[in-house]
Amino acid sequence: MGILQGKVAFITGVARGQGRSHAVRLAREGADIIGVDLCTDYDTVPYPMAGEDDLKETVAAVEALDRRIVSARLDVRGRAALTGFVTDAVTQLGRLDIVVANAGISPLKNATADEDIDATWQDVIQTNLTGVFNTVQASLPSLIAGGRGGSIVITSSTAGLVGLSLDTVGGYAYTASKHGVVGLMRGFARDLAQHSIRVNTVHPTGVATPMIMNPAMEEFIGSRPETMNTLVNLLPVPMVEPEDISNAVLWLASDQARYVTGVTLPVDAGFTIK
C-alpha cells in the first residue's frame, strides 16, 4: 500500500514535464488525480506548449497504475472556471487532500524589435503567480470542508531564492513570479495552519523537461555563454530529472512531512549555495 493510499491530488500543468511526473509518482503511491493543463501555445513563449495528446498520455499513465484521474484543458489564469472544475472533480472522486500548483512558463529569448514586452510580462505573471493564487483559491473550499487537513506544494525555482542575470523581460518576469509565489506560500501557510493545511514551495534547478530542452532555449543559452556559465550547479550534474522533483513533492505531500510547513525546499544540486 502506498503512502498516499486513498488520497486525491490536484495538479496543474499536468500534461507533460514535471506535472506529468508528479501525477505518476503520486498515483504510484495510491493517490487519485485531478489534473489540468492549458494545452495551447502562447504567442509570447518561443517553445511549443503541451498539447491535447500529451494530456491524454498523462491520463493513460495514471490509469495504467489503476488509479482514477479527472482531467481537463483549463487555463490557470481563469479562476472561475478552475473553481468550477475542481468542485465537480472533487464530487466525482470524493475528496481533496493535496494541491500541487505546478503550471508555469519561461519565455527566455533574446530581445527583438517587435517583441511585445507588456504581453510577455503579463503572460508570465498571470500564469506563474496569479495562476498559483487561483489554483489555491479554487482548492481551498474542498480542502477545508474535508476537515482532514492537507498539503499544498507550489513549484517555485532557484530563481525564487536568488537573483538570476538573464537581462530579458522574460527572465525578469520569471524571477519575479518565482519570488512572488514564496510570499504567497508564507501567507497561506500562516492562514491555513488553523485547518492543518500545510503549504510549502519546492525550488528546482534546471530540470530536463520540454521547458528547458527545446531549440529556442538552446539558442538563448548559446547566445550568452558567459551568463550561462554562472548558472552551473555545485554538484557535477547539468540538470536534474523530473522524478527528482516529484520525490520532493511526494514527501511534502505525505504524512512523513506532517509538521513541515512554510519552508522553501531546494532540489537544486547545490546551485543556491555556490
pLDDT of residue 113: 64
Q: Which of 47, 172, 174, 259 is catalytic?
A: 174
CA distances from 21 to 29, 33, 115, 130 (A): 13, 12, 33, 23
47 counts as catalytic: no
> 114 or 197, which is more confident?
197
**CATH architecture under which domain 8-261 falls:** 3-Layer(aba) Sandwich (3.40)
Most distant pair of Cα atoms in the chain: their distance: 57
Q: What integer best gives the mean pLDDT of the chain? A: 95
Contact 25, 249 (CB under 8 A): yes
Residue 223, pLDDT > 90, answer no
Chain centroid offset of residue 257 CA: 19
Kindly list the domain boundaries of the chain, sorted by start residue.
8-261
pTM for the whole structure? 0.96
What percent of the chain shows pLDDT beyond 90? 88
Euclidean distance between CA atoms 183 and 186, whole angstroms: 5
Among candidate residues 135, 128, 144, the one with its CA nearest the CA of residue 79: 135
When pLDDT is averaged across residues 240-261 and rounded to a whole number, the result is: 98
Residue 114, pLDDT > 80, answer no
Helix axes of 79-93 and 131-146: crossing angle, nearest 10 degrees = 30
Helix axes of 52-63 and 17-28: crossing angle, nearest 10 degrees = 10
pLDDT of residue 220: 86
